[in-house]
Structure 1
Amino acid sequence: MNNIIIVLGAPNDARGNLSQIAQDRLNCAYNLYQANGSFRIVCTGGFGAHFNPTEKPHYFYAQKFLIEKGIPDHAIATGVPSTNTITDFQLSKKLIVEENPDILIIITSDFHIERAQILYKRYIAYPKVVFIPAISSLSKAELVPLIEHESCAVKRLKEEEV
């Protein structure tokens, strides 16, 4: 089978240490892979002052995390050097169309899933997709501004569709 997991990027610090959001998403991908090793994993994330100020793309740190957890190198596909959720999908589209996966799984944070689904439909709309929310391990206080941000972003996207 030709199965692909795309893990959407999240911040890392100036030393390449992954944020808890990134770790939650990658742990979700790791657990899914452990349950079914037929998947290849694509990590997204390039550079940006707001999420990765290092000299290596975010996907490098994400791939390293997965390999250190025991995911074999052959299961890690080339990363996508995106800068936000829109470019996650814009830059992944060619891979998805060329690979024509039997199952495409998109992993992102639980609080980010609605916006990711809207943008996915707008930029890719590949029919054989499943979204899996990575359950956030952030505190309630840390989640509140993220949920508010996502709510506003989803509202803007829905207004654009009208």
Structure 2
Amino acid sequence: MLTDVLIVLGSPNNSEGVLSDTAISRLNCCVKHYEKDMLVLCTGGWGAHFNITEQAHAFCAKQYLITQGIPESAFLDFALSQHTVDDAVKTLAIISKLKNIRLTVITSDYHLKRVKLIFETILASYSMKFIGAKSNLDKKAYDFLIAHEEKAIRSITKNGLYY
């Protein structure tokens, strides 16, 4: 029997630990797809670009998911990552102890292509699917993030993935 693991990639929270709209959209996507007996892995540690609080972003994410009805017993250890490649590397360290699992990686729609490229490289031996939670960004912010993602993908394609 396969156990499904939902992996929610981190995104910003403010200096008081209040989750950003991007974080909330990813977490709500996790809630929507969660079913009894699934496991949940939250990513995100600290970094000037997304979390400067004393608590890891993953802790804030877990607390939100618990308020939405996901039981404490569903959570795996946190992947205390600082960026997307780190998400995959630290996720691998956690899930490598589990048997018969299937992964669902949840990120934002604009981030999906790069996440697939990274996770399919680092976690190549796992069965995975990917979900891009709809972002509610204005067109200018969305276009900026798409351009950033395309540049990052070109860099990975040209230089390889280092981890």
Which amino acid in structure 2 is aligned with residue 107 of structure 1?
I
Contact 2:46 2:52 in 1 (8 A): yes
**Where does residue 80 of structure 1 map in the other structure?**
79
The root-mean-square deviation of aligned C-alpha atoms, in Å, is: 1.3
- For residues 76 and 39 of structure 1, the distance between their equivalents in structure 2, rounded to whole angstroms, comes to 9
Q: How do 1:1-162 and structure 2 match up within 5 A?
A: 1-33=2-34, 36-161=35-160
Contact 2:102 2:126 in 1 (8 A): no
Which amino acid in structure 2 is aligned with residue 148 of structure 1?
A
Report how far residue 100 of structure 1 moved: 2.9
Q: TM-score, normalised by structure 2?
A: 0.92
Contact 1:4 1:101 in 2 (8 A): no
Contact 1:47 1:58 in 2 (8 A): yes
- For residues 111 and 149 of structure 1, the distance between their equivalents in structure 2, rounded to whole angstroms, comes to 10
Structure 1 unaligned runs (5+)?
Answer: none
1:91-149: per-residue Cα shift (whole Å, max 9, x none)? 11122221134311111111101111111122221331111111112222221111111
- Secondary structure, in 3 states, of the residue corresponding to 2:96? helix
Contact 1:24 1:136 in 2 (8 A): yes
Structure whose residues are more often helix by fraction: 1
- For residues 154 and 101 of structure 1, the distance between their equivalents in structure 2, rounded to whole angstroms, comes to 30
**Stretches of 4+ aligned residues off by more than 3 angstroms:** none
Q: TM-score, normalised by structure 1?
A: 0.93
- For residues 117 and 9 of structure 2, the distance between their equivalents in structure 1, rounded to whole angstroms, comes to 14
Which amino acid in structure 1 is aligned with residue 44 of structure 2?
G
- For residues 110 and 22 of structure 2, the distance between their equivalents in structure 1, rounded to whole angstroms, comes to 10
- For residues 145 and 25 of structure 1, the distance between their equivalents in structure 2, rounded to whole angstroms, comes to 19
- For residues 104 and 143 of structure 1, the distance between their equivalents in structure 2, rounded to whole angstroms, comes to 27
